[in-house]
Structures are given as structure tokens and as C-alpha cells.
Amino acid sequence: MLKNHNPDSYSATYQAIKQSLTHYSEYIYSQTSLQLFSRQLNRSNAQNKKEFPRCEKGLTMLAASRQLGMRNKILGVIPHEEFAHLLPHLEEVHLQKGETVYLSGDNIKYAYFPENGLLSLLVTTKTGSTVEVASVGSEGVVGLPIILGNHMIPYEVTVQFTTQAWKIRAQRLQEEFDRGKTFHEFVLRYLNVLITQISQSSICNRFHSMNEALSRWLLTVQDRVNSDNLNLTHETISHTLGVPRTAVTGAALELQRAGAIRYMRGNIFILDRTKLEEKSCECYRIVRDELDHFLRQ
């Protein structure tokens, strides 16, 4: 039997235990809620980490599908991930025959990646005489001085044959080039092709006959535009090769008599490519071999 039984003491003890249990329950509830929130946050972060690569992968797949239709050599062969960097900045443009894209000394605002047609790079003397130093088709790009830190173009760029092209702001091209990846490598390889063209053009204009120079140029144009029918006047050719119109007429007649070409109403038809190659100088073969090497890489 309990001695000194006091009801009030039991009541006080009961209240103290009840209060302690209440505090403990609140603590457990708060800790449980905190753990649940933490787990939910971790799941959310994990989900975001999974969704970001999916989004990036989706953009790469979209770029890959667009890249399949690219006819420009450089844009068509770089990795899909690099093309995805360029795609939002590419703008399709139509360049009409005879249009001037740049005059010598202009600031380079855009670079151009031709899909077809032909762009001509010309240098001009103080007296107004011109000569082509290189040409750019679907294998290359116009505006390369920008990657060398030169924001002014040192030659005139004109449209020799109507061209569909992709243009991109020069600054964006520089940024992508500076990333030092496959795009960087292909642009440098193409720059070597361009330097070879310029070197051989200088030699050809100085040391080879008009018949040889005209044959070389017609073969080069045919390679770029992939057609036997070339819409060219003698005046256009004389402006490009930097010779009098009469010299072009004389050389064209010689090639026509040899059965290599036929000239009629501002059109030159390539009849026998083998004969035209025989009439051409070694400059054509040197540039063609360098370009073939680039296209095979």
C-alpha cells in the first residue's frame, strides 16, 4: 500500500509528462517534414540534371537533321554539336549574279558559306583594272581575314554565278573559330586551299598564255557550278582575268576550233573536258589536287 498519497502531486506530474510528450511530438513532426522536403528537393535537382542533357541532346538532334541538307563542305562535315552552336546564327541569303558583296577595304560584317554558285575575289589597281585571285564555291567560305584579326577585307567580292549562301556575323564566326575544335581545323585547311589558289593565279597571270589561262579558268568554273553550260560573256571573262576583251575572243576562238568549247550568245558550252585540260596549264591541276585533298578529309 502506498503511503503519503497526494492527488495534487499526481496531477502535476501528469501535466509535466503531457507537456514533454507534446514538445517531443512537435519535434518529431518538424524533423519528419524537413526530411520529406529534403528528399523532394533532391529528387527535383536530380530530375533537372537529367532533363538538361535531354534538352541539349534534343537540340543536337535537331541540328543534325538540318545539317543533312547542307551543301557547303565546311558546314556539312563538322560534328553535330559544333553545328548546333552555329545554327541559331546562320541566315540564308540569295546573292544575285553581278552583285557586289564587298568592296576592297570594307569592314567585314558577315562571313558567307556558299551552297552553290560562285563568288569571285578580285583585286583592283588605281587605274581600275581588275584580276581574279581566287574563287569560292560550296567548298569554302568568304570573310576569312576576320580569323586573322583583320576586320577589313583586302579584295573585292562579287557574285560570278547566282549563289545561295548562309551568312553569319563575323564576330560569331571568330568566337566559334577560337573554340579550337573541328570547325577551327576545317577553316584552316580551307585557308590553305585559298592560299594555293592565290599563288597559282599570280603565276598563271604572269607566265602562261591566254589560251592556257582561259582553259584553267573555265575548268575551275565548271568544277564549282557543276555544269557544262556557262553563262559568261567575253567582257565578264576579260574583267575577271585582267586582259583585254579582244584577247579573250581570240583565245575562245582557238579553243572552239580545237573542239573543246562552243561559244554562242553569251554562253560557253564545254564540249570536251579532256581537250580543255590538255590546253590548260599546270596551275589548274595544282589547285584541283589541293582542293580534292581538302574535300577528301
Cell of 125: 589597281
pLDDT at 59: 65
User: Per-residue pLDDT for 101 more than 90?
Assistant: yes
Inter-CA distances, 265 with 52, 229, 234, Å: 60, 12, 10
Query: Is there a contact between 216 and 281 (Cβ–Cβ < 8 Å)?
Result: yes
User: Per-residue pLDDT for 90 more than 70?
Assistant: yes
Cα-flanking dihedrals φ and ψ of residue 172, to 5°?
-70, -40
pLDDT at 62: 74
> pLDDT over 70 for what percent of the chain?
80
Across the chain, which distance is largest between two alpha carbons, in Å?
141
The residue among 215 and 14 whose pLDDT is bigger is 215
The string of pLDDT tens digits covering residues 215-244 is 999 999 999 999 999 999 999 999 999 999
User: Per-residue pLDDT for 27 more than 50?
Assistant: no
pLDDT at 21: 41
User: Per-residue pLDDT for 23 more than 80?
Assistant: no
Inter-CA distances, 66 with 75, 79, 107, 164, Å: 10, 12, 30, 16
Q: Where in the chain is the domain with CATH 1.10.10.10?
A: 209-280
User: Per-residue pLDDT for 38 more than 70?
Assistant: no
The residue among 95 and 48 whose pLDDT is bigger is 95
The string of pLDDT tens digits covering residues 124-181 is 999 999 999 999 999 999 999 999 999 999 999 999 999 999 999 999 999 999 999 9
User: Per-residue pLDDT for 37 more than 70?
Assistant: no
pLDDT at 57: 61
pLDDT band at residue 13 using 50, 70 and 90 as cut-offs: very low
Q: Span 245-251, mean pLDDT?
A: 96
pLDDT at 61: 76
User: Per-residue pLDDT for 50 more than 70?
Assistant: no
Q: Where in the chain is the domain with CATH 2.60.120.10?
A: 90-204
Q: Span 89-109, mean pLDDT?
A: 97
pLDDT band at residue 17 using 50, 70 and 90 as cut-offs: very low
CATH topology of domain 90-204: Jelly Rolls (2.60.120)
CATH number of 209-280: 1.10.10.10
Contacts of 23 by beta carbon, 8 Å cutoff, 6+ apart: none
pLDDT at 29: 43
Q: Span 110-117, mean pLDDT?
A: 98
Beta strands across the sheet bearing 229-231:
229-231, 267-270, 261-264
User: Per-residue pLDDT for 31 more than 50?
Assistant: no
The residue among 1 and 214 whose pLDDT is bigger is 214
Q: Span 79-84, mean pLDDT?
A: 92
